[in-house]
Amino acid sequence: MAWPFTNAELTAGLRRYFAQPGLRVRGASDYPPAAPRLQGRAAQGVRGLRVDYVVGEAASTVDCVVKEPVGRTGLASPGLCEAGLYRSLAMQLPMPTPALIAADPDGAWLVLEAVEAVEAPGAWGAEEFYAAVKLLARLHERFWGLADDLDTYLWLLRPLTRDYGIHVQAAAHALGQMVRDEWPPLIAHSPQIVGALGQIISQAEQVVAPLRAQPFTLLHGDYWAGSIVRDETGDMIVLDWGLAGLGPGVLDLVTTVTTSQWLAGELPVPAERLAARYRREVAALVGRRWSEAEWSEQWDHALLWRFMQEMLTWVASAPREIYQARAQQFEDVWLRPALAAAGRRLPPLSGL
């Protein structure tokens, strides 16, 4: 399979990466990526790249990762977003990230340094989850309330403001497609569920209002075990910044919990304890505290928004055999919790 970049583009990137203006690329080949990945959105379009090069008379090789991300129509390219973050914000982050070697100007492809993982994917226990949540709180603290400053980076996503209408329109289209196709039966054959989902979409402004009222920060956008590797020192290296954006931190935490449940199975620690750890860290770092009632409201509205933003379109577009294989998990992890949250926050939802 051909590479998406030219030899000249790769050479220029490696010369900057190694600070060796005389570096010459001799060849490039596929190899399994150095960091095994859990299956997820960011794992799609990822290939390992081994580059043979020479500097003077010395020959060597370097392992890289090539990404060809695919985004949603109307939103900033994930590749453009990830490259922009590495170039402009990586030095300000409280965690290490891969180095950007080269990237397409429009974000169609990126070449990153390969990051070696010292543990198997999915091997996280409670300790790793707590450490990841603590690191997430540090990320949010670093950019807490700086939405106006970050607004200069046009490649950052803005799910609750600039990009809000795109997500709502996509959710409405997805629900209409389910009704027209009469698929999946769990939704399409239930007037109560169709009505409830329709009400969630029609009341999207009420869904996001409490979230918009919170201080905005820099969001990773896809923060979970599949986007984090630990090196030999124990440091967590955070990958996959293609959905980085602006919003309240609770959106990242809900993503951590639900994506882990959706793609890796049952959590080794209850979600409530992870939320409690995050709240303690934020309180210590920025002095922001929520009452139990306030936090419960934030969580419900974040869950509703993420469900509308991501899962309705997944259900409508997933091949039927894939949906059928995950139907019970979808109901348990996403549908029933979202309907319950809607019942608490967007009453009345009759018949549920």
Q: Tens-digit pLDDT profile for the chain (352 aa)?
A: 689 999 999 999 999 999 999 999 999 999 876 544 544 555 567 899 999 999 999 999 999 999 999 888 888 899 999 999 999 999 999 999 999 999 999 999 999 999 876 665 567 899 999 999 999 999 999 999 999 999 999 999 999 999 999 999 999 999 999 999 999 999 999 999 999 999 999 999 999 999 999 999 999 999 999 899 887 787 899 999 999 999 999 999 999 999 999 988 889 999 999 999 999 999 999 999 999 999 999 999 999 999 999 999 999 999 999 999 999 999 999 999 999 999 999 977 544 4
Task: Answer whether 113's CB lies under 8 Å from 17's CB.
Answer: yes
Strands 110-113 and 58-67: antiparallel
Instruction: List, in order, residues 6 or more apart from 310 with CB less than 8 Å away.
Output: none
**What domains can be seen in the chain, in order of their start residue?**
7-113 (3.30.200), 126-345 (3.90.1200.10)
Q: Find the helix or strand (DSSP H, E) in which 230 lies.
A: strand 228-230
Please give the Cα distance from 87 to 64 (Å, whole number). Answer: 17
State how far the Cα of 208 lies from the Cα of 346, in Å rounded to an integer. 12
Q: What is d(CA 349, CA 193) in angstroms, rounded to the nearest whole number?
A: 9
Q: Burial of 27 by CB count in 10 Å (0-12 exposed, 13-18 middle, 19+ buried)? A: exposed
- d(Cα 187, Cα 82) in Å, to the nearest integer? 35
Give pTM, 2 decimals: 0.93
Question: What span, in angstroms and rounded, lies between the C-alpha atoms of 330 and 249?
Answer: 24
Q: For residue 128, what are the contacts with CB-CB under 8 A and spacing of at least 6?
A: 225, 230
Residue with tokens 């577009």: 317
